[in-house]
């Protein structure tokens, strides 16, 4: 496979002497042996062969450091966890499930699922609060830190809108806007966090906003309107898509039945994105230059 050159990284994940020795045989000079297997008996390290190869050996216990990244990878559709499930058992057969997993070499069990009779019910309020500070991953692999706006975010938001294209500013505010006024910024940063929420997205540990999504509900909390802007440098990276999906889930968790967006008919990019997520375009009777994009959250 490598033409005799060896591999840059050999991962020992079984925890038996023969696989640890195999890693030593296939690692290339300057390579790494990553040992994550749990060893119950001694395993030989052949320094008589490796002392001059400049290799490194790393060990580590299983932990949850990368679990958030893994969950976001699954959420983004990059990993299909269903392919890992080999067996399913009802709760009353849990003994059989453990027995099956303990004989994985014979049963070929990889992931065994225990199914209960009814799903765990999570209070809607608690679920909704999880959206206020979270991590998301776009389909391009860009990690986002998304949180609710704070009153002190006004300077960050003003700087953000300076990096939104003039065309997107016009689409966002449905009119000619060169610079977002203090009054508008104030309204977008001092929200009530009940009928109105404003999500800000950051990336790479920077305090520069790369996207903003404002969602405003009617007093009955049955209908909401969303408006999203993305920094010019971060367009076409899946940021707008992920922010729209985040807002839709947030609104749904709050009991909102219909999510809408008022768009200029010229904003083809936004309309196409929304339609890809199940929004439907309907005429806006008060202005023929606008179109109302609507999604029924009860059907999702």
Q: Is domain 124-299 given the CATH code 3.20.20.70 in the classification?
A: no
- Alpha-carbon distances of 148 from 160, 216, 258, rounded to whole Å: 15, 13, 21
Report which of residues 285 and 23 the model is more confident about.
Answer: 23
Dist CA 195 CA 220 (whole Å) = 9
Q: Residues of 20-46 as b/e, b for ≥16 C-beta within 10 angstroms?
A: beebbeebbeebbbbbebeeeeebeee
Fold of 7-59: Rossmann fold (3.40.50)
Question: Two tokens at 197?
Answer: 């929420």
- Residues found in the chain: 300
Q: What's the pLDDT at 71?
A: 81
Predicted TM-score (pTM) above 0.95: no
Question: How far from each other are the two terminal CA atoms of the chain, in whole angstroms?
Answer: 46
pLDDT at residue 26, as a whole number: 96
Mean pLDDT of the residues in the chain: 86
Query: Where are the domains positioned within the chain?
Result: 7-59, 67-115, 124-299
Mean pLDDT value across residues 30-54? 92
Q: For 53-72, how does the pLDDT look when each residue is reduced to its tens digit (9 = 90+)?
A: 999 999 987 677 778 888 88
Residue 56: predicted pLDDT: 95
Tell which wins on pLDDT, 146 or 68. 146
For 165-191, the pLDDT digits (tens) are 888 888 787 666 678 889 989 999 999
Least confident of 36-50, 103-117, 242-256: 103-117
- The alpha-helical segments, DSSP class H, found in the chain are 17-26, 47-50, 67-75, 94-102, 104-107, 124-129, 154-162, 166-173, 182-189, 239-253, 268-276
Q: Which range, 21-30, 102-111, 160-169, has the best average confidence (pLDDT)?
A: 21-30
Cα–Cα distance for residue pair 119/123, rounded to 1 Å: 13
């Amino acid at each position: 496979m490598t033409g005799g050159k060896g591999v840059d990284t050999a991962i020992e994940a079984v925890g038996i002497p023969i696989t640890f020795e195999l890693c030593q045989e296939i690692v290339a000079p300057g390579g790494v042996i990553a040992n994550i297997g749990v060893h119950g008996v001694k395993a030989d390290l052949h320094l008589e062969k490796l002392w001059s190869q400049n290799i490194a050996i790393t060990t580590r216990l299983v932990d949850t450091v990368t679990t958030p990244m893994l969950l976001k990878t699954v959420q983004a559709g990059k990993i299909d966890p269903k392919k890992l499930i080999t067996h399913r058992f009802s709760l009353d057969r849990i003994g059989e499930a453990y027995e099956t997993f303990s004989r994985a070499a014979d049963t070929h069990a990889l992931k065994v699922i225990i199914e209960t009779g009814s799903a765990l019910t999570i209070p809607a309020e608690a679920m909704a609060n999880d959206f206020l500070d979270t991590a998301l991953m776009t389909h391009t692999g860009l990690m986002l830190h998304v949180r609710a706006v704070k009153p002190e975010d006004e300077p960050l938001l003003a700087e953000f809108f300076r990096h939104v294209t003039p065309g997107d500013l016009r689409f966002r505010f449905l009119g000619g806007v060169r610079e977002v006024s203090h009054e508008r910024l104030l309204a977008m940063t001092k929200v009530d966090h009940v009928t109105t929420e404003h999500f800000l997205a950051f990336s790479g540990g920077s305090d520069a906003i790369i996207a903003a999504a404002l969602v405003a509900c009617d007093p009955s909390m049955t209908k909401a309107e969303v408006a999203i802007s993305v920094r010019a440098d971060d367009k076409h990276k899946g940021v707008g898509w992920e922010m729209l999906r985040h807002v839709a889930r947030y609104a749904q968790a709050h009991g909102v039945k219909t999510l809408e967006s008022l768009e200029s008919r010229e904003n083809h990019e936004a309309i196409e994105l929304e339609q890809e997520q199940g929004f439907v375009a309907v005429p806006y009777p008060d202005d023929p230059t606008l179109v109302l994009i609507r999604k029924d959250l009860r059907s999702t």
